[in-house]
Structure 1
Amino acid sequence: MSGRKNLVILFGFVAAVSLISSAVTVMLISCYYSRLQFDLVNVICGEVLEQEPEMKHIVSAALKEYTGGNADGVAMGDVLSVLGYDISDFSDSSVTYDIMFAITGFLAGIVLFAITYTFRNNTEAKRIEELSDYLEQVNMGKAVVLSVSGEDLFSKLEDEIYKTVTFLYQTKDAAVQAKNDFAENLSNIAHQIKTPITAISLSLQTLSEMPMKKEYEKDRIEQIKKQLNRLIHLEESLLVLSRLDAGALMFQKEDVDVFTLLVLAADNLQELFADSGTFIDIPESGEMAVTADLNWTMEAVINVMKNCMEHNAGGTVHCSYGQNPLYTEILIWDEGDGFAKEDIPHLFKRFYRGKNADAGGNIRGSGIGIGLALSKEIIEHQNGTIRAKNLPNGGACFEIRLYKQ
């Protein structure tokens, strides 16, 4: 709202109030002078009739001729009232015009006030709508430079909104740059790890081909192999996370049967399940499909199943799934000891070391502390959520929800 519009609105309000005040004042003054006329004529007539009572017919006739009223009654005192006259009978046409003018001015003031009030509200509503449209464009990432519309009550708000939006854009750019830098650093670390891993693999292969004289030498080589496999998994996971952070990992969306997804994930862990003596139960609950990337979603489910298996050796890992109009839910749980209560909020953080972490940093079988974090990233990049909880009767449970697209 510009300064000119402010002046128009101010003038409108002042004019409306002035008209209303003038109209009320004219009406009050008119009534006052009518009363003065009535009292003056009343006193004069009273004095005349007091001195000359026989003149009452003459006075009455004169008043009747002046007002057009009737001359009934002959009592003294308030002579005019006794004779049937009141204040309005002595208000001439000019007074009537004054009253009409006052009423007209009053109504005009009311109308002008209503028009001015409506104009002001419409102008403010338009300014609010402009600011709302600007904020909507900001949310859609299409905001342009906010043009100054003039000095008004909304100018300071407009200025603060523009400053806030500019600051948020700068913060967003800095956050995106920091995320890209972090992703690049992860990628560089993964590639740097790859070189010594290759050298260790070659040396280990050479040692494996040499005849072992003592049993403990074989055990050490097996331990080296296990640690090497962990490093290889770490290197691969870091590369995947760096691609996720950089937005370079593309998911192929297709209809995937949930039961098939769970079975394929379990098949990839078949050897590990057999070695640990753990069973996996996947009951078929009918045909249900989700829109997701089969391979990457299977990778996320594998990490969750592995977590349950490693802390449930000799037990059973259970799976179930269901679907409603909003999402498809997959539950995977075990019969182990469950999570430490203080670890639950941090389970999906990268490299988190919990209360029950072993010397290698394992938290509930999370290996190098990156498997659950990777699962979370994969699920969330496909419009899903994953959370962990303890079951009332013991055991840990993972809840995966993939929402409709």
Structure 2
Amino acid sequence: MVSGLNSKKVVLSRELLKLYYDGMSGEVVVRDKLRTIKLYLEEGNVVYAEGVDEGRQLLREIGAKKGLDPRQLKALEQINERDPQSLGKALLDRKLLSEPVWKKFLEIKVKYVLATAFKMEAADLRFRDVSSPILPSNLIDYNMIQLLLDTIRLMEDLRTFERHIPGDDAVFTLSEGANELKAIIPLSPFELTIFSMIDGQRPVGEVIKSAGLAREDVYKTFYLLLCFDLITLISAKDRKVGDEVDYTHIVNIYLDLLRILETNFRKEVGKRFESILNKCLNELTGQSKELLRSLDLSKDYQAGIVTQISKRFAEKEKATEGRLVLSSSFNKLVFLLVTRMEKLLGKGVTERSLQQMMNILQDVERYRREPEIMDYVRGNLRDYFQQISA
């Protein structure tokens, strides 16, 4: 599983590029509760993708163009439903399309699948180093860098871009090594123009005015540059406002998880939970102990804790440092309570509690504002569940 704490980075593109640079072969799986998407890699390039049904539309177009009768069209639709990988071979064998046309369709499908994956906010991302048999008729060889460029350029989704670009007041600077990295990424003239305007001082809104183009086009270009790690968010103003929201969100996530543990503890041990909690708090060390000192988690604590922690981190120089300390501190407390629960209440109660926590993260919409934090939290809960179940 991929987990991270910097919400301004685009995790999917970062991982795909790492696999490309490492020349990896295998299967990238992007999964949420609605769909599962798979990208198949060979030496870092994409050779096939699945998870979005584009075959049905293709069959309708072929049926209309070739004048297929309902029986013929139904037979092809059944092949597509039963085994989508067999559709291409069936169409080629029946001479309903040429191989170049089929390959072009596969390239379009790969871009559509990848664009869909970029829009999946609360998804798990995994890479499996496995050999996945793809029919020869379905194989393409799409260079990863070019695929990312082609896909992002086709995307028309301001909401996705805004998840990583916090607003017109945000200021970006060039990432370390950006000019060297730019040499291997074939940016368009417009993208190069935007890139040249990023100086660590000019906010996004000023770039929009200077470029004289639609806000969505400029946001898309910033998103593209972020995907290739060419730029980094640095705005102090944005960091102060944005991190307060981030801290609030992190605190609320963990406090909701602690409420689940508290409820299940109290069902079994009643008021003893307060002493159990205090023991766990006393076992914390370093920054974690300092952060959670004097916080009474056994009462109606939520609003007060959010305020205290937000103020405590307001003067932190680096936002990512504060978020890491905050998340890891709460994570340590959750782990201590989970291990204490297993010892006192048994494996069954503990597994059910962990499952409740994972379920609430999956089902509640407001938790999806920070997909990378959610990956981190879910990953830790999943690890605890596996440890308990082993």
Q: Normalised by the shorter chain, which TM-score bucket?
A: under 0.3
Largest Rg, 1 or 2: 1
How does the TM-score come out when normalised to structure 1? 0.22
Higher relative contact order, structure no. (Cα contacts within 8 Å, ≥ 6 residues apart): 2
TM-score by length of 2: 0.22
